[in-house]
């Protein structure tokens, strides 16, 4: 019996709302024993940019992986099946965002899995939970698209309102 | 999700281990530790001198950066779902109580000794609630405030905790180059002032970064670089301007940034009815600096007033831990959250090793 397709989940970082405080990186660091999979970079312009896997729908890392270790779970999160990984880092070469990293002990590729263990408990990824600015949108794909557009509508309305005077 | 989920590791309160932990200071560090500890089955009581938890995120940082409601809803969940008790308007202190910033709404005072006695473990996360204002002529004048005090007064007025409005200004001069300078200037500007930020180095060295400086400039805030205050010009005890010394960049100092050095004979005055010093804050542990008091509690402070801890965020009193800006000095929400989480785990580990040794009793 084929099970109904699971809804795809999405995480989108709203850089307009992000204040660069690093809470996402802090939680991620804590959850992964000092090796965060979302990191906030201070850029030369002084703007702090959080960077983590985008869990691309046509993920080059998944395509290029010779052993099938880089794969996707039912909710759409791209993750590494550690036992299959040979640590070749073809995924890193393929990734346009330079995301995968070699895990130093096991010598396997490692990256954000959107907190698989927490999601399996019905919880949300740590970074989403702890963002003080509400800058990380997460949920069923359609809902995230809606939430993003609603924010834009709000800011357009605000701009028009401010132009009233 | 429209709230900060401090208890991000569990969906509901797990079985209680009947071990009580007190958290002193409900900023990002204290709340992160609380969220961790409740998910691990500890009973957590939180003490804070403010009428609401949240620390700087609720009582200083403007709502256009961090929506207060996200923090406060998260706090409400800790209370309602996880049974965390918040003792607000309660200042915890050992020794002669010092007046610090943000004390105006405190109603109760609880001795730190009592908290240490009543709980199996204690986490100190009281932040940096004392501004450093350079001792210049005229800084005692009316109309001279710290950025923290200014933003605090705006926030408590906004929240309806006081009927006295924050200082109004026509021309505000903000001294500093960090986030507090940006926030204070933007706040004053949004409240109708012509605001100018004056920084002693250039925008490239400003801790707030080029982007933030440019952003507030577009909001109408002026930014003057390479000038350092020498005097607040006052008339009848009221500030009416600030005299600045022109600076230029010299060789790098110990922080690696080029050091500002005075340009002989070049000074100028900026008119201002509100002078805001955003020149840094210092750690405010819940204990006086008296050697006696510190020794009795087994705590020690560093020269800057921060709490000394070992690698596991433990003070020299084994049952007392510390995390957040009271340990590191002013940082940001992220580092405070990080140390709060790790400290929470170390508290747990320590309590577990104690249980192996002997059954624990409070008192
Ligand atoms: C104006 C301003 C703007 C900032 N902007 C940003 C920003 O944009 N991004 C960013 O990442 N960071 C920013 N920060 C820094 C950030 O707010 C702090 O790094 C962070 O809040 C530190 O967390 P904490 O939990 O250690 O301390 P705090 O947030 O300071 O919390 C400490 C808590 O302890 C309580 N307390 C203190 N003493 C006692 C006592 N004796 N008894 C009981 N309770 C006590 C206080 O009331 C407070 O609630 C800003 C700071 C300021 C001042």
**B210: contact with A, CB 8 A cutoff:** yes
pLDDT at A66 over 90: yes
Tell me the mean pLDDT in the region B78-86. 98
- Average pLDDT on A68-89 reads 97
pLDDT of A1 higher than 50: no
Closest CB to A132 among B11, B66, B341? B66
**pLDDT score at B255:** 82
The pLDDT, as a whole number, for residue B256 is 85
Residues of A in contact with B8 (CB under 8 A): 27, 118, 123-124, 126, 129-130
pLDDT average, residue stretch B228-238: 97
Q: What is the mean pLDDT of residues A79-97?
A: 98
Q: How far is the alpha carbon of A77 from chain B, nearest alpha carbon, in Å?
A: 19
CB within 8 Å: B338 and A26: yes
Q: B362 pLDDT exceeds 70?
A: no
Kindly tell me the sign of the dihedral angle through the C-alpha atoms of B353, B357, B361, B363: negative
Amino acid A4: pLDDT: 60
List pLDDT tens digits, range B138-160.
999 999 999 999 999 999 999 99
Cross-strand pairs, B320: B122
Task: Give the C-alpha separation, A125 to A106, whole Å.
Answer: 24
Atom of ligand 1 nearest to the CA of B66: 8
pLDDT, mean of residues A66-85: 97
Predicted confidence (pLDDT) per residue in B90-106, tens digit: 999 999 988 999 999 99
The closest-lying atom of ligand 1 relative to the alpha carbon of residue B50 is 47
Give percent of chain B with pLDDT exceeding 90.
94
Query: What does the block give as tokens for B196?
Result: 């100018």
User: Measured in angstroms, how far is the CA atom of residue A62 from the centroid of ligand 1?
Assistant: 43
Q: Hey, whose CA ends up nearest to atom 15 of ligand 1?
A: B332
Q: For chain B, say whether A19 makes contact (Cβ under 8 Å).
A: yes
Distance B202 CA to ligand 1 centre (A): 27
- Domain A55-111 -> CATH class: alpha beta
Report angle CA A155, A158, A160 to the nearest 5 degrees. Answer: 115
* Per-residue confidence (pLDDT) for residue B133, from 0 to 100: 96
pLDDT at site B263: 95
Cβ–Cβ gap A129/B8 under 8 Å = yes
State pLDDT tens for residues A102-143.
Answer: 999 999 999 999 999 999 999 999 999 999 999 999 999 999
CB contact under 8 A, A132 and B1: no
pLDDT at B257: 87
Tokens representing B252 are: 């790098």
pLDDT band at B361 (very low <50, low <70, confident <90, very high): low
For B248-288, the DSSP string reads: EEEEE-TTSSEEEEEEEEEEEEEE-SEEEE-S-EE---SB-
What is the per-residue pLDDT across B10-36, written as a single tens digit (0 to 9) for each?
999 999 999 999 999 999 999 999 999
pLDDT in tens, B296-355: 999 999 999 999 999 999 999 999 999 999 999 999 999 999 999 999 999 999 999 998
Fold match flag (A1-53+114-165 vs A55-111): yes
Task: Indicate if the pLDDT at residue B363 is higher than 80.
Answer: no
- Determine whether domain A1-53+114-165 maps to CATH 3.30.70.20: yes
Region B197-210: what's the mean pLDDT?
A: 96
Inter-residue contact B258 to B250 (CB < 8 Å) = yes
pLDDT classification of A162: cutoffs 50, 70, 90: confident
Mean pLDDT over the full length of chain A: 94
| Binding-face residues of A in 90-149 toward B, CB within 8 A | 118, 121-124, 126, 128-134, 138
Distance, in Å, from the CA atom of B297 to the CA atom of A7, rounded to the nearest integer, reads: 55
Ligand 1 atom with least separation from CA of B340: 25
Give the pLDDT confidence of B53-75 residue by residue, as tens digits: 999 999 999 999 999 999 999 99
Q: How many CB atoms lie within 10 A of CB B244?
A: 22
Q: Is the pLDDT at A65 greater than 60, yes or no?
A: yes
Mean pLDDT within A145-149: 95
CA atoms in the 13 A half-sphere facing the CB of A49: 9
Query: Contact at 8 Å (CB) between B33 and B125?
Result: yes
Q: What is the set of domains in chain B, with CATH numbers?
A: 20-129+281-357 (3.50.50.60), 133-277 (3.50.50.60)
Contacts of A48 in chain B (CB under 8 A): 209
Please state the domain extents for chain A. Answer: 1-53+114-165, 55-111
At A3 the pLDDT is 57
Q: Which atom of ligand 1 is nearest to the CA of B126?
A: 34
């Amino acid at each position: 019996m084929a099970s109904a397709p699971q809804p795809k989940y999405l995480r989108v970082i709203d850089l307009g709302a992000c204040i660069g405080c690093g809470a996402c990186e802090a939680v991620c660091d804590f959850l992964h024993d000092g090796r965060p999979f979302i990191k906030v970079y201070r850029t030369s312009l002084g703007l702090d940019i959080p960077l983590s896997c985008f869990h691309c729908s046509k993920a080059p890392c998944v395509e290029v992986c010779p052993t099938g270790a880089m794969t996707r779970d039912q909710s759409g999160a791209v993750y590494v099946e550690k036992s299959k990984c040979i640590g070749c880092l073809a995924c890193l070469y393929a990734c346009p965002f330079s995301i995968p990293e070699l895990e130093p002990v096991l010598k396997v590729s490692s990256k954000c899995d959107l907190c698989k263990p927490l999601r399996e408990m019905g919880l949300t990824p740590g970074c989403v939970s702890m963002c003080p600015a509400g800058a990380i949108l997460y949920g069923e794909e359609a809902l995230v698209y809606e939430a993003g557009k609603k924010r834009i509508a709000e800011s357009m309305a605000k701009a028009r309102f401010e132009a009233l005077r | 999700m429209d709230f900060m989920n401090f208890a991000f590791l569990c969906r509901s309160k797990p079985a209680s281990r009947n071990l009580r932990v007190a958290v002193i200071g409900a900023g990002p560090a204290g709340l992160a530790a609380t969220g961790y500890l409740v998910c691990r089955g500890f009973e957590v009581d939180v003490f804070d001198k403010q009428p609401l938890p949240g620390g700087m995120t609720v009582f200083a940082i403007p709502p256009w950066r961090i929506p207060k409601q996200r923090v406060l809803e998260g706090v409400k969940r800790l209370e309602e779902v996880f049974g965390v008790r918040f003792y607000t308007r309660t200042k915890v202190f050992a020794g002669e109580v010092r007046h610090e910033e943000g004390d105006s709404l405190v109603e109760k005072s609880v001795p730190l000794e009592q908290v240490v006695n009543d709980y199996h473990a204690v986490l100190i996360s009281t932040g940096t609630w004392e501004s450093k204002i350079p001792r210049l002529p005229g800084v005692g004048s009316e109309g001279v405030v710290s950025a923290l005090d200014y933003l605090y007064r705006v926030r408590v007025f906004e929240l309806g905790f006081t009927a006295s409005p924050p200082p109004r200004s026509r021309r505000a001069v903000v001294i500093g180059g960090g986030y507090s300078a940006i926030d204070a200037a933007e706040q004053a500007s949004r409240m109708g002032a012509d605001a100018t930020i004056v920084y002693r180095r250039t925008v490239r060295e400003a801790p707030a970064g080029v982007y933030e400086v440019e952003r507030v400039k577009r909001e109408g805030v002026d930014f003057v670089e390479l000038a350092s205050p020498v005097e607040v010009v006052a008339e009848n005890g009221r500030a009416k301007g600030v005299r600045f010394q022109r600076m230029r960049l010299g060789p790098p100092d110990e922080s690696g940034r080029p050091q500002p050095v005075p340009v002989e004979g070049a000074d100028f005055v900026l008119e201002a009815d509100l002078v805001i010093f955003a020149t840094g804050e210092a750690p405010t542990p819940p204990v006086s600096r008296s050697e006696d008091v510190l020794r009795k509690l087994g705590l020690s402070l560093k020269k800057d007033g921060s709490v000394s801890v070992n690698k596991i965020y433990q003070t020299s009193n084994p049952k007392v831990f510390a995390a957040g800006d009271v340990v590191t000095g002013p940082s940001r929400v992220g580092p405070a959250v990080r140390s709060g989480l790790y400290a929470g785990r170390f508290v747990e580990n320590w309590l577990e090793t104690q249980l192996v040794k002997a059954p624990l009793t409070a008192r």
